[in-house]
Chain A
């Protein structure tokens, strides 16, 4: 832990929000994927955030425990013109909703901004400590 722990802690929050933005971007990018019926569809990715540091103590911030993968069954669609279609003309498309992804993205963006604000305020606080007595 450095001399300025709040900066490190806010940094872990920024990193976590960045991961969230990345998974959301990946989900939106893969929304229109098409998979053949004998393969899994793209599963919606969601980061799992857990506190880091010992319980009952001032923590070390947040960390990403892993990326949860959503349902890979997808949605079966009838699309006989697709090159991935089977004999029945069926393909799998990901079970990803654009609406919920946009909400997730706004949440991740607000998360990022909140942590950036904490970082800036902590820096100002540390700097004002240096002017004590002068």
Chain B
């Protein structure tokens, strides 16, 4: 039996942040891109959990409520990551628009 909702294909991990201007980004701890990358990994994990729960519910094993709860959590996780990413990109754009 097919799942109720087609599972979302895995998101490829983000490439490491290109070190702008040589070694400027090196040794500064967690960069923005690695934070977002970690967040995306977690989103991927919750999407996988939701997919598994949905497949089980559709197959008649497991419960529909659990599947819906997992799907809601996956959706909220995605919204959080997207919101943070938008904020970060917005900050970056503000810096780039500075006049010197």
Give A residues with C-beta under 8 Å from B.
Answer: 2-4, 7-8, 11, 14-15, 18, 119, 123, 126-127, 130
Contacts and interface: CB of A to CB of B under 8 A. Distances in A.
A11 B80 contact: no
B73 A18 contact: no
Interface in B49-68: 63, 65-66
A7 to B, nearest CB: 6
A15 B42 CA distance: 25
Contacts of B79: 127, 130
28 contacts: A2-B46, A2-B73, A3-B42, A3-B73, A3-B77, A3-B80, A4-B76, A7-B69, A7-B72, A7-B76, A8-B69, A11-B65, A11-B66, A11-B69, A14-B65, A14-B69, A15-B63, A15-B65, A18-B63, A18-B65, A119-B72, A123-B72, A123-B76, A126-B76, A127-B76, A127-B79, A130-B79, A130-B83
Contacts of B80: 3, 130
What is the interface of chain A mostly: helix, strand, loop, or mixed?
A: helix
Contacts of B77: 3
A18 B69 CA distance: 14
Nearest to A133: B87
Contacts of B73: 2-4, 7
A3 B65 contact: no
A15 B63 CA distance: 9
Contacts of A127: 76, 79
A127 B72 CA distance: 11
A126 B79 CA distance: 10
A15 B80 CA distance: 26
Contacts of B72: 7, 119, 123
Contacts of A18: 63, 65
